[in-house]
Amino acid sequence: MVYFTYPLYPRNVAMKTRLFLFTACLFVVLPAPAGVGVLGSQQQEPKAEPPPPVGRAAEQPNKERPKKKVEHHGPISPGIQALATASTDIIIADVVDTNPRKAIEGARDTVKLKVVKTLLGRHMPGETVGVYYHLVWTDEKATTLERVKFEKGGRYVVFLTFLGELTDPWLAVLQDRQWLAQEIAAAVRVPHGDARGEWSESVGALAARLVVYRTEPSNGTPIFTLYLDVRNGTGGNDTTELNLDKALITWKVTDANGKEIAPSSPPGNWLSTPPKKLVLDSRQSGRLQASITGGGIGKDRGGHLELGSDRVWEFDKGDEKAYYLSGEVTIKATSDAGVWYGTLILPKVKLPVEPE
């Protein structure tokens, strides 16, 4: 299409000049060739759709890759390590309410905490926990009170004992800071293993739990080392002896549905083990190794657990099922004073079988 524009000029403008201006005002609009833009730039052809996925990607189009664990690298603070070792429960919690009341030693309070995350122990996220503690005077004249441990609305990392008390009156409450949880998790592994069961009900003076470490591979297979943690929860001066060499111990491995997994009895060369005996004072804890070594180990398996020559379990590498170990420890009564007897029912612990 052609447009003509006729500008109006005075009669005294020269014809040559009018012709030039007339030409400049002539616009020609023609259809653009295919692929050419308004300014003459080449337009991009629409991109072809990518080919459909094949193989495993086609079978599992929506399956996300598992997230890698964020681990602590570097040395662990000696103070954090000492707190983790002495604690049975470590939580990250928000302060719901706190109200220190004046007391002879300074002040007393039962702080109300809402658990945000559990780093160790029995408390679950969303649970409300009450922790009783003291504030003390910082001077001999009892005029200056130590700084408050909790502020309402604040978030803290709190180290606790199995009695629900602060592990340490001075150091057991920390401000929640970035990366602190990872360092605590690394510190927790040293005394508490890669997996741990709940504490059993106390029978007499004692309670116990199962702790599992995933140790260095042998023949390409990680070895599960099992420990029995024991604590004497009595007060006073009671001393209690636990002798596992005189115990009848039963073990059971099950899957997530409760189906029992039968053990195997591979050939091996077992050596005698040292005596398995603990003598615990009041409120003291100890540990005994329950797993043994000597049996044949399959090559490149997902894990090897050995609790006797006829009680060996091996797990396939890449197996995404969950497996649990539970047990019972029974010792018959004797006339020996201070020697523990009874039956400890050990809650299950999840074995650290990791998928390939």
> Cβ distance 221 to 297 under 8 Å?
yes
- Secondary structure (3-state) at 278: strand
* Backbone dihedral angles phi then psi of residue 188, each to the nearest 5 degrees: -65, -35
Q: How much is the pLDDT for 70?
A: 55
- Secondary structure (3-state) at 335: coil
Q: How much is the pLDDT for 251?
A: 98
In this predicted model, what pLDDT tens digit does every residue of 210-219 receive, in sequence order? 999 999 899 9
- Cα angle: 318, vertex 190, 197; to 5 degrees: 65
Q: How much is the pLDDT for 355?
A: 57
In this predicted model, what pLDDT tens digit does every residue of 226-268 receive, in sequence order? 999 999 988 778 899 999 999 999 999 999 999 999 999 998 8
Q: What is the mean pLDDT of residues 129-148?
A: 92
Percent of the chain with pLDDT over 90: 58
Tokens 């309070």, located at residue: 109
Task: Tell me the pTM.
Answer: 0.64
Is residue 23 over pLDDT 50? no
**167: confidence class by pLDDT, cuts 50, 70, 90:** very high
Domains in the chain, please, with CATH? 78-192 (2.40.50.120), 195-350 (2.60.40)
Q: What is the mean pLDDT of residues 186-204?
A: 91
Lowest mean pLDDT among 13-22, 285-294, 319-328: 13-22
